[in-house]
A and B are shown apart, each in its own frame.
Chain A
Amino acid sequence: MNWMSFDEALPVIFMALMGVSMLVYVISDGYDLGVGMLMHRATPEEKDVLIASIGPFWDANETWLVLGIGILLVAFPKAHGVVLGELYLPVALMLIGLILRGVAFDFRVKAHAAHKPTWDRLFFAGSTLASAAQGWMLGRYVSGFGSGWNYPLFAAAIAIALPMAYVLLGACWLIMKTEGELQRRALAWARMAWPPMVIGLVLISMATPWISATVRQRWFVLPEVIALSAIPLMTGLALLAVRALLDTRHVLGAICWLPFVLLIVVFGLSFLGLAYSLYPYVVIDRLTIWQAASSPAALKFILVGVCIAVPAIAGYTVFAYRVFRGKTGELRYA
């Protein structure tokens, strides 16, 4: 095996960075958006708790999307053009959704009391629109932007499944962050979202090898398939564990964090599987990371900043989560 030179390795490093940013985004804004999509099921008092549970975090969570897209833009400019060109309309819809979600969050408590329900509805609508658009984009992306009747159908299925995954994540976040009646209701919401999320995950897992011969060959070859089967097996086990936990009473008490953590594991494993399928493509079967990458000089200059900034970001993200750890209480400006 030949080791690649540092310049050749740079696009791999940036692909990994972009992937990790996107993964952190999907998990962190995923629970925000999931909570947003549960808004309409909550009573007015519960709505305030839902918002309070994500209040200190949502802004930083969304920043991971800016970083992920930023890396795509600066490290793989050709891919950025292709991907965002293909996804022009869903991107615009997602952005409108994120705009409505983000501003409704602030407006609802500051506007005239009579307008609060309207902002709550916009918060729900924005979260749903953004999640569905992201699902559609994920579906289109992993299926290589193919044309034919089956491709939009597949993307539409993912446009339902991804929001459901977010709802499950959001409900598990609430199980962790709330108590009492609301926590019990969150349990019910989680049970409801589990089946569609699992179906969506299975669909995506089947789609990439079905669409691309490259991916098929990479997965179903001995002896790799034996080692690789660990990924779906562990994902399945984690999902079953989540489902089993949702039926126990203990999940309301000391282990309330476990379903959420298990779901992070599920998202992480799914991401690994997807990364293994796609690598070394940034647009499947069309553009490899080396074809799409910026010059090594520019990448090195950014890498210096990344090496300094990312540990700092990780540090103060942990700090913020520690400050607001535990059950959600009253959220006051002070």
Chain B
Amino acid sequence: MDAILLARLQFAANITFHILFPAITIALGWVLLFFRWRHLRAATADARQAWLNAYRFWTKVFALSFALGVVSGVTMSFQFGTNWPGFMERVGDVAGPLLAYEVLTAFFLEAGFLGVMLFGHGRVSERVHLLATFLVAIGTTISAFWILALNSWLQTPAGHEVVGGRFVVASWWQVLFNPSFPYRFAHMVLASALTCAFLLAGLSAWQLLKGSAAASAPRVLRVGLTLAAVLIPLQIVVGDQHGLNTLEHQPQKVAAMEGLWRTTRGAPLLLFAIPDGAVRENHFEVAVPKLASLILRHDPEGEVKGLDDFRDRHPPVFAVFWAFRVMVGVGVLMLATSWFAWWRYRRCGWAAEQLPRALLWWLAAMTFSGWVAVVAGWYVTEIGRQPYIVYGLVRTAEVASTVAAPSIGLTLALYVVVYAALVASYVGVLKHMAEKPEAVLTDDGAPAGAVATMAAGAR
């Protein structure tokens, strides 16, 4: 395989692994703050304890997810340079400050207060501890702001001038709030909230099935389902708006998502197809007539540009087409699941023990559905930007590394093995944690890090 494909695979492997964890922590930080607040405001002693248990359990999930996000994020800060050395040389004046501001305003904020948030309860006042939790939550969100601003600029560049092949900033306001940024930011923050909501609901369902957290799990399940049921319709609206924005600024990406080879009036919506880039046709199409035009142009006879208008300037179709269908499919499943489960849970008066076990099993199966949708969605937008790294302006091949293919291949293999093992461990450990009896949380502060039994001469 050639070096550029390996470099892309390596970067893709890392960024895919990385996004799994911010997708959880961006929203989970705020959920923890909510648990903490419910704990402080609870009317009965039982409720106080239950919310505290929920906070303690989910803090551990947060800590683990955060650690995985940090280590893969550190890796990424190196891979910008090792895999795409030309990238920073060309667009460093735009991308550099955005990355620098992320580290300065978000990374340090999160990392600085995470220790206090995780281990500082009892060492600082309740108010300072709450503030530390808030600062970690806001830190993850600020981090998302900078990174999505940069990614959106790569998709819909604005506010720059090109001077002698280098990109120079003309207006920071336009760079930050480039045309696709508001849509992408809203879409990602909601995606994180939904990922987190299904994780909350799924893991709580598992705890109920195993009978391990009778006090906190019913409450967390309700939070998760409510969050999902409220946010998924919102996400569908935002996603639609994001799609229309993409149609305006990156028409070939939408053409690839729709599997539309030729510019068509009254374009059909393909439910199934095997796009074939070699013959520039689809095989085995199953289509709803005129629906794509209706969705994209809000007019059944509206014209949608096809891939043939962009010949060597459009992304690989098969991957984008199917990633889009996976994302939408999971989204629809999330909508049906959260609405049905919320309605069913309410009907039995929020008494978790009356929920059918089949529903709990289904929710447990949906625990990581957010991951699938998030990764598929990012594949649509990132593969959909190819062959460009900066849409329409810089091609990915122009900025690739000169490192020899075997070196990249070797490290790629290493990364993939480590990442696969870590994802498996992560899922396994969450399952293990959920099965532990709740009593270890009720005890005033579970021994989580370490117990200093090392008084002088204790051994």
User: Which of A63, A84, A100 sits near B108, CB closer than 8 Å?
Assistant: A63
Does chain A have a CB within 8 A of B101? yes
State whether the Cβ of B418 lies closer than 8 Å to any Cβ in chain A.
yes
**Is A313 in the interface zone, CB < 8 Å from B?**
yes
> Contacts A56-B115, A179-B455 hold; do A91 and B78 have CB atoms under 8 A apart?
yes
- Residues of chain A contacted by B111 (CB below 8 angstroms): 59-60, 62-63
Which of A98, A180, A294 sits near B454, CB closer than 8 Å? A180
Q: Which of B274-318 contact A (CB under 8 A)?
A: none
Closest to B63 in A: A106
In the complex, B169 has a CB within 8 A of chain A: yes
Which of B121-129, B243-251, B328-336 binds A? Answer: B121-129
User: For residue A180, which residues in chain B have a CB less than 8 angstroms away from its CB?
Assistant: 454-458
> Would you call B447 and A73 a contact (CB within 8 A)?
no
Contact among B56, B114, B432 with A334 in the assembled complex (CB-CB below 8 Å): B56
| CB pair B451 A109 closer than 8 Å | no
Docked complex Cα distance between A333 and B446 (Å): 7
Q: List B contacts of A73 (CB < 8 A).
A: 77, 80-81, 88, 92, 96, 99
A288 lies within 8 A of chain B by Cβ: no
B264 contacts partner chain A, Cβ-Cβ < 8 Å: no
**Which residues of chain B have C-beta atoms less than 8 A from A112's C-beta?**
429, 432
Nearest-neighbour CB distance to chain A for B96, whole angstroms, equals: 3
The answer to whether B116 touches A323, judged by C-beta atoms less than 8 angstroms apart, is: yes
In the complex, what residues of B have CB within 8 A of residue A84's CB?
78, 81-82, 85
Any chain A CB within 8 A of the CB of B112? yes
Complexed CA–CA distance, A328 and B119 (Å): 12
Distance in angstroms from B22 CB to nearest chain A CB is 15
Contact B119 A324 (CB under 8 A): yes
The contact of A110 among B108, B433, B459, by CB within 8 Å, is B433
* Most chain A C-beta atoms within 10 Å of own C-beta, residue among B77, B108, B450: B450
- Residue from A111, A301, A320 in contact with B172 in the complex, judged by beta carbons closer than 8 Å: A301
CA distance A103 to B432 in the complex (A): 16
Cβ-defined contact, A333 with B59, below 8 A:
yes
Q: Are B103 and A67 in contact (CB under 8 A)?
A: yes
Chain A 298-326 against B: per-residue CB contact (8 Å), 1 yes, 0 no? Answer: 10011001100110010011011001100
CA distance A49 to B455 in the complex (A): 11
Q: Which of B429-444 contact A (CB under 8 A)?
A: 429, 432-433
Most buried by A among B96, B113, B121: B96
> Which A-chain residue is minimally distant from B94 (CB atoms)?
A298
Partner of B97, one of A55, A301, A330: A301
Known: A43-B459, A66-B74. A333 touches B449 (CB 8 A): yes
CA distance A106 to B422 in the complex (A): 12
User: Is the C-beta of A99 less than 8 angstroms from some C-beta in chain B?
Assistant: yes
Total contacting residues, chain B, CB less than 8 A:
85
State how many angstroms separate the Cβ of B4 from the closest Cβ of chain A.
Answer: 15
CA distance A74 to B166 in the complex (A): 14
Are the C-beta atoms of A309 and B108 separated by less than 8 Å? yes
Binds A, one of B43-51, B368-376, B401-409: B401-409
CB contact under 8 A between A96 and B418, given known A65-B74, A66-B103, A334-B56: yes
Most A CB atoms within 10 A — which of B109, B119, B445, B458? B119
- We find that the number of chain A residues with CB closer than 8 angstroms to chain B is 77
B75 interface hit (Cβ, 8 Å): yes
User: Across the interface, do A330 and B458 meet the contact criterion of CB distance under 8 Å?
Assistant: no
Given contacts A66-B107, A73-B96, contact A81 B85 (CB under 8 A): yes
Stretch at the interface among B64-72, B177-185, B203-211, B377-385: B64-72
Q: A59-B114, A180-B457, A329-B452 are in contact. Are A297 and B168 (CB under 8 A)?
A: yes
CA distance A50 to B390 in the complex (A): 46
Least distance between A332 CB and chain B CB atoms (Å): 4
Q: Which residues of A contact B109 (CB under 8 A)?
A: 316
Instruction: Give Cα distance in the complex from A95 to B74, angstroms.
Output: 8
Say yes or no: is B448 at the interface (Cβ < 8 Å to chain A). Answer: yes
| Cβ-defined contact, B71 with A98, below 8 A | yes
Chain B nearest Cβ from A241, distance in angstroms: 26
- Give residues 265-322 of A contacting B (CB, 8 Å): 294-295, 297-298, 301-302, 305-306, 309-310, 313, 316-317, 319-320
**Contacts A56-B116, A62-B70 given: A109-B449 contact, CB under 8 Å?**
yes
Interface residues of A in 178-205 (CB under 8 A from B): 178-182
B353 within 8 A of A: no
Q: How far is the CB of B179 from chain A (nearest CB, A)?
A: 22
For residue B105, CB closer than 8 A to chain A, the reply is yes
B94 contact set on A, CB distance < 8 A: 298
Check if A70 sits within 8 Å of B77, measured CB to CB. yes
Give the distance in Å from the alpha carbon of A182 to the alpha carbon of B453 in the complex. 11
Q: Does A105 sit within 8 A of B, measured CB to CB? A: yes
Are A109 and B448 within 8 A (Cβ)?
yes
Given known A103-B422, A297-B169, A333-B59, contact A77–B96 (CB-CB < 8 A): yes
A45 on interface, CB distance cutoff 8 Å = yes
Q: Which of B412-435 contact A (CB under 8 A)?
A: 414-415, 418, 422, 425, 428-429, 432-433
CB of B351 within 8 A of chain A?
no
- A residues near B425, Cβ cutoff 8 Å: 103, 107, 111
Docked pose: A248 CA to B172 CA in angstroms: 59
Given contacts A66-B73, A102-B70, A102-B71, 17 further A-B contacts (CB under 8 A): A56-B119, A60-B111, A63-B107, A67-B104, A74-B99, A80-B85, A85-B401, A88-B403, A89-B410, A91-B82, A110-B60, A111-B429, A181-B454, A294-B96, A305-B105, A316-B113, A323-B116
Top 8 nearest A-B pairs (CB, nearest first) are A74-B96, A56-B115, A331-B449, A334-B121, A48-B450, A81-B85, A180-B456, A52-B450
Chain B residues within CB distance 8 Å of chain A: 56, 59-60, 63-64, 66-68, 70-75, 77-78, 80-82, 85-86, 88-89, 92-97, 99-101, 103-105, 107-109, 111-116, 118-124, 166, 168-169, 172, 401-403, 407, 410-411, 414-415, 418, 422, 425, 428-429, 432-433, 445-459
20 A–B contacts from the bound complex (CB under 8 Å): A45-B454, A49-B450, A52-B452, A55-B450, A70-B77, A71-B100, A74-B95, A85-B401, A91-B82, A96-B418, A102-B68, A103-B422, A107-B429, A302-B100, A305-B104, A316-B108, A323-B115, A323-B123, A330-B447, A334-B121
